[in-house]
Protein backbone atom coordinates (compact mmCIF):
# COMPACT_ATOMS: atom_id res chain seq x y z
CA UNK A 1 0.00 0.00 0.00
CA UNK A 2 1.11 3.55 -0.63
CA UNK A 3 -0.36 6.99 -0.33
CA UNK A 4 -0.92 9.50 -3.10
CA UNK A 5 -0.80 13.19 -2.24
CA UNK A 6 -3.23 15.80 -3.62
CA UNK A 7 -3.81 19.54 -3.27
CA UNK A 8 -6.74 19.79 -0.86
CA UNK A 9 -9.82 21.44 -2.38
CA UNK A 10 -8.83 20.90 -6.02
CA UNK A 11 -7.68 17.26 -5.70
CA UNK A 12 -4.93 17.85 -8.24
CA UNK A 13 -2.22 15.23 -7.65
CA UNK A 14 1.26 16.36 -6.74
CA UNK A 15 4.07 15.44 -9.09
CA UNK A 16 4.95 11.77 -8.63
CA UNK A 17 8.54 12.41 -7.54
CA UNK A 18 7.51 14.90 -4.84
CA UNK A 19 4.58 12.73 -3.81
CA UNK A 20 6.89 9.74 -3.31
CA UNK A 21 9.31 11.79 -1.18
CA UNK A 22 6.47 13.18 0.95
CA UNK A 23 4.94 9.71 1.35
CA UNK A 24 8.24 8.20 2.52
CA UNK A 25 8.74 11.01 5.03
CA UNK A 26 5.12 10.65 6.21
CA UNK A 27 5.57 6.92 6.79
CA UNK A 28 8.86 7.47 8.61
CA UNK A 29 7.17 9.85 11.05
CA UNK A 30 3.59 8.61 11.35
CA UNK A 31 3.52 4.88 10.54
CA UNK A 32 0.92 3.21 12.75
CA UNK A 33 -0.93 6.39 13.73
CA UNK A 34 -4.62 6.59 12.87
CA UNK A 35 -6.06 9.31 10.66
CA UNK A 36 -9.44 10.84 11.41
CA UNK A 37 -12.14 8.80 9.68
CA UNK A 38 -14.36 11.67 8.51
CA UNK A 39 -12.98 14.64 6.65
CA UNK A 40 -14.62 18.02 7.10
CA UNK A 41 -15.83 19.78 3.97
CA UNK A 42 -14.37 22.97 5.43
CA UNK A 43 -10.72 23.03 4.36
CA UNK A 44 -9.72 26.55 5.36
CA UNK A 45 -8.30 25.80 8.79
CA UNK A 46 -5.98 28.43 10.15
CA UNK A 47 -2.43 27.37 10.84
CA UNK A 48 -1.43 30.64 12.49
CA UNK A 49 0.09 30.06 15.88
CA UNK A 50 0.40 26.30 15.43
CA UNK A 51 3.82 24.73 15.56
CA UNK A 52 4.62 22.02 13.06
CA UNK A 53 5.45 18.67 14.62
CA UNK A 54 7.67 17.86 11.62
CA UNK A 55 9.04 19.68 8.56
CA UNK A 56 10.58 18.34 5.35
CA UNK A 57 12.48 20.37 2.72
CA UNK A 58 11.98 19.67 -0.98
CA UNK A 59 13.83 21.36 -3.85
CA UNK A 60 11.27 24.16 -4.40
CA UNK A 61 8.92 23.65 -1.44
CA UNK A 62 8.74 22.47 2.11
CA UNK A 63 6.11 20.43 3.92
CA UNK A 64 4.92 20.97 7.50
CA UNK A 65 3.01 18.33 9.44
CA UNK A 66 0.83 19.66 12.26
CA UNK A 67 -0.62 16.17 12.83
CA UNK A 68 -0.95 12.90 10.93
CA UNK A 69 -3.78 14.37 8.81
CA UNK A 70 -3.03 18.11 8.82
CA UNK A 71 -0.24 18.62 6.30
CA UNK A 72 0.72 21.80 4.42
CA UNK A 73 2.90 22.31 1.35
CA UNK A 74 4.65 25.68 1.16
CA UNK A 75 6.08 27.14 -2.04
CA UNK A 76 7.52 30.55 -2.91
CA UNK A 77 4.14 32.23 -3.32
CA UNK A 78 1.36 30.01 -1.98
CA UNK A 79 0.47 27.67 0.85
CA UNK A 80 -1.64 24.63 0.07
CA UNK A 81 -3.08 22.04 2.39
CA UNK A 82 -2.46 18.60 0.93
CA UNK A 83 -4.34 15.37 1.48
CA UNK A 84 -3.40 11.71 1.15
CA UNK A 85 -5.28 8.74 -0.25
CA UNK A 86 -4.13 5.15 0.10
CA UNK A 87 -4.33 2.49 -2.59
CA UNK A 88 -3.18 -1.08 -2.77
CA UNK A 89 -1.09 -1.95 -5.79
CA UNK A 90 -2.17 -5.12 -7.58
CA UNK A 91 0.35 -7.38 -9.27
CA UNK A 92 4.08 -7.12 -8.91
32 pLDDT above the threshold of 80: no
57-74 b/e (C-beta count within 10 Å ≥ 16 → b): ebeebebbbbebebbbbb
User: Best-predicted range by mean pLDDT among 34-38, 40-44, 87-91?
Assistant: 87-91
Interatomic CA distance for residues 49 and 47, integer angstroms: 6
Which is more confidently placed, 50 or 67?
Answer: 67
Query: Where are the strands (E) in 1-87, listed by range?
Result: 2-7, 54-57, 62-67, 70-74, 79-87
pLDDT average, residue stretch 69-89: 80
49 pLDDT above the threshold of 50: yes
26 pLDDT above the threshold of 90: yes
Q: What DSSP character marks residue 13?
A: B
Q: Supply the mean pLDDT for the chain.
A: 79
38 pLDDT above the threshold of 80: no
Amino acid sequence: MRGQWFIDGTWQPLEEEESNLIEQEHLNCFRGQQMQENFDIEVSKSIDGKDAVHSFKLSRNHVDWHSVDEVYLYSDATTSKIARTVTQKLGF
